């Protein structure tokens, strides 16, 4: 079968020449320094500490941001606590107006947010422009719609009440979008919040704070504290009613320990090692696009990335040849270039982790394939990478790499595919590629994953719940399920 796509010349596919099409950064007006957003104002940190935030594609410093210590975090939590009673008493339709206002303002400033997201995080502009920012706005629109309908959202459960003050800790892979996932349901349900963005990507959260200020939300309803793990840990320990966390399983476990017995509610959205399963009857060209998107979207910095490809043996050769061909056409480089498919790795630390795991793959005997491509001299980069000859015991088959690296395994029967797919401590997402509807349903029932995509991958929608099993965490975000963790019913805090 593989002869079908072998080239007569045997050479590499013809290279397409693209003129660069960089998005201008003029639309972004950076300040030299950003304070903490507390009580509706940007304030200096009591800690007196600041740190530089850089662009991972140029290593240039973009701005300095404040590093909040425990006293700063306590001040933000106090502001959220003080703001809570009035925000809760506000007529729900009024509360909705504020949330709608944020959504509209995100649309209004979409270009600025997209460019800033790509500058600070390294993701391709076509992704921040077409996915991160529109989806962030969509979350605020969606949850704004629920604000005055909470009593109808959960029939028979009693009167819904807000939980109180939410501490929200988010990662660096979708900085603005994760802020939206956290804040939109919390606000719509009548809670106040303290948000802590990831240390490498604070800038869009701080721009969101400006948007919130301009939308004239009552001071203290949303507060943003910047800093690294210590700041996050201080927020977990602070006097909040709920912690919502997205990030590594390791930190998730530490937060679980820290909150145990405290009465604080907790939701955790952690790592993943998703199986993307291609059956022999799958539409292969469509599957190739889904597999590529599944692992190379956002440099593979995606908790639900399809990082383990399971291919049914009869189509292995042809699918691999198609994947290698497709890999050659991915354009790696400047995140602000509209032609770029794969941008910069988010940080030096993440690049080190990817390199270490890839080395382990080679050492353990898997076969590596990387396309030829030039990488910029400065910044953090990693070539799109495939591994064949992967067995389940390899680290690259077990551990989350969180980079543009695909591990390919094979299977013969549906049962074997299910066994291999579920043979992981994680359980966040999975993909199934087949022509048969009955097989999709059969697989979806047996895959231990919070989301199962069929003949597509990495699709997101504010109305649709998202979350994991096992070490991928618990609790759901998105849809009605995402509203529930921010509500209690008749004082019954569950
Ligand atoms: P991380 O879990 O350390 O960072 C996520 C957030 O948690 C950041 O805001 C960070 O400042 C905060 N944090 C760190 N330590 C904390 C603590 N003790 N208490 C409270 N908050 C704390 O993730 P990191 O180190 O950036 O990445 C390591 C690996 O984690 C990645 O290689 C990837 O495998 C995984 N990861 C998964 C994500 C997901 O979306 N599920 C997102 C980010 C990382
Ligand atoms: Mg960490």
| Number of DSSP helices (H) and strands (E) in the chain, helices first | 17, 20
- For 122: left if phi > 0, alpha if psi spans -120 to 50, otherwise beta; the answer is left
**198 close to ligand 1 (CB < 6 Angstrom):** yes
What ligand is nearest to the CA atom of residue 229? 1
pLDDT tens-digit map of 77-96: 999 999 999 999 999 999 99
Atom 22, ligand 1: which residue's CA is nearest? 229
Q: What are phi and psi of 78, to 5 degrees?
A: -60, -40
Where are the extended beta strands (E) located within 313-384? 367-369
Domain boundaries of the chain, sorted by first residue: 33-270+472-489, 275-461
**Ligand 1 centre from 249 Cα, in Å?**
8
Contacts of 235 (CB under 8 A, 6+ apart): 73, 77, 167, 169, 194, 196, 225, 243
Q: Choose among 172, 185, 197, 91: nearest CA to 138.
A: 185
What is the predicted pLDDT for the residue at 1? 41
pLDDT tens-digit map of 396-439: 999 999 999 999 999 999 999 999 999 999 999 999 999 999 99
* Alpha carbon of residue 461 to chain centroid: 13
CATH homologous superfamily, domain 275-461: Aldehyde Dehydrogenase; Chain A, domain 2 (3.40.309.10)
* Catalytic position from the list 303, 400, 477, 484: 303
What is the predicted pLDDT for the residue at 472? 97
CB 466 within 8 A of CB 460: yes
Residue 209 Cα distances to 39, 214, 324, 413, 489, angstroms: 11, 9, 43, 51, 30
Q: Which fold has domain 33-270+472-489?
A: Aldehyde Dehydrogenase; Chain A, domain 1 (3.40.605)
**243 close to ligand 1 (CB < 6 Angstrom):** no
Domain 33-270+472-489 shares a fold with domain 275-461: no
Q: Round to whole Å and give the CA distance between 287 and 299.
A: 19
**402 close to ligand 1 (CB < 6 Angstrom):** yes
pLDDT tens-digit map of 168-213: 999 999 999 999 999 999 999 999 999 999 999 999 999 999 999 9
**Ligand 2 centre from 370 Cα, in Å?**
28
**Ligand 2 centre from 251 Cα, in Å?**
7
**Ligand 2 centre from 99 Cα, in Å?**
31
């Amino acid at each position: 079968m593989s002869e079908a796509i072998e080239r007569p010349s045997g050479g590499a596919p013809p290279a397409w020449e693209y003129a660069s099409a960089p998005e201008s950064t003029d639309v972004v007006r950076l300040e030299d320094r950003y304070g903490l957003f507390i009580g509706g104002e940007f304030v200096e940190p009591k800690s007196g500490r600041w740190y530089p935030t850089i662009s991972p594609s140029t290593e240039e410093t973009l701005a300095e941001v404040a590093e909040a210590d425990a006293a700063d975090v306590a001040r933000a939590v106090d502001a959220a606590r003080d703001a809570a009673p009035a925000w809760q008493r506000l007529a729900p339709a009024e509360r909705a107006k504020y949330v709608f206002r944020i959504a509209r303002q995100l649309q209004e400033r979409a270009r600025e947010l997209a460019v800033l997201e790509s500058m600070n995080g390294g993701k391709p502009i076509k992704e921040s422009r077409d996915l991160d920012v529109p989806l962030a706005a969509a979350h605020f629109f969606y949850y704004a719609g629920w604000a005055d309908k909470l009593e109808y959202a959960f029939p028979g459960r009693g009167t819904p009440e807000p939980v109180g003050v939410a501490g929200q800790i988010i990662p660096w892979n979708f900085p603005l979008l994760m802020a939206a996932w956290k804040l939109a349901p919390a606000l719509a349900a009548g809670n106040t919040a303290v948000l802590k963005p990831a240390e490498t990507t604070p800038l869009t959260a701080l721009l969101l704070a400006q948007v919130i200020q301009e939308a004239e939300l009552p001071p203290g309803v949303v507060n943003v504290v910047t800093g690294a793990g210590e700041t996050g840990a201080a927020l977990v320990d602070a006097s909040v009613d709920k912690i919502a966390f997205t990030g590594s399983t390791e930190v998730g476990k530490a937060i679980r320990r820290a909150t145990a017995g405290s009465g604080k509610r907790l939701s955790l959205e952690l790592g993943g090692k998703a199986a993307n399963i291609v059956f022999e009857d799958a539409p292969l060209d469509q599957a190739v696009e889904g597999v590529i998107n599944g692992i190379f979207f956002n440099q593979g910095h995606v908790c639900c990335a399809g990082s383990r490809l399971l291919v049914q043996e009869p189509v292995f050769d042809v699918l691999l040849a198609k994947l290698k061909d497709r890999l050659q056409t991915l354009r790696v480089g400047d995140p602000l270039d509209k032609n770029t498919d794969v941008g910069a790795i988010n940080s030096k630390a993440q690049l080190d982790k990817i390199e270490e795991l890839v080395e382990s793959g080679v050492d353990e005997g898997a076969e590596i394939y990387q396309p030829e491509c030039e990488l910029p001299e400065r910044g953090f980069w990693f070539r799109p990478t495939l591994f064949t000859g992967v067995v389940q015991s390899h680290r690259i088959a077990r551990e989350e790499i969180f980079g543009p690296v695909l591990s390919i395994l094979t299977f013969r029967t549906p049962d074997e595919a299910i066994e291999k797919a579920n043979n992981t401590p994680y359980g966040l997402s999975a993909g199934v590629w087949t022509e048969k509807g009955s097989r999709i349903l059969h697989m979806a029932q047996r895959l231990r994953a919070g989301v199962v995509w069929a003949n597509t991958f990495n699709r997101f929608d504010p109305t649709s719940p998202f979350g994991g099993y096992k070490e991928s965490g618990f609790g759901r975000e998105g849809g009605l399920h995402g509203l529930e963790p921010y509500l209690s019913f008749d004082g019954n805090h569950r």
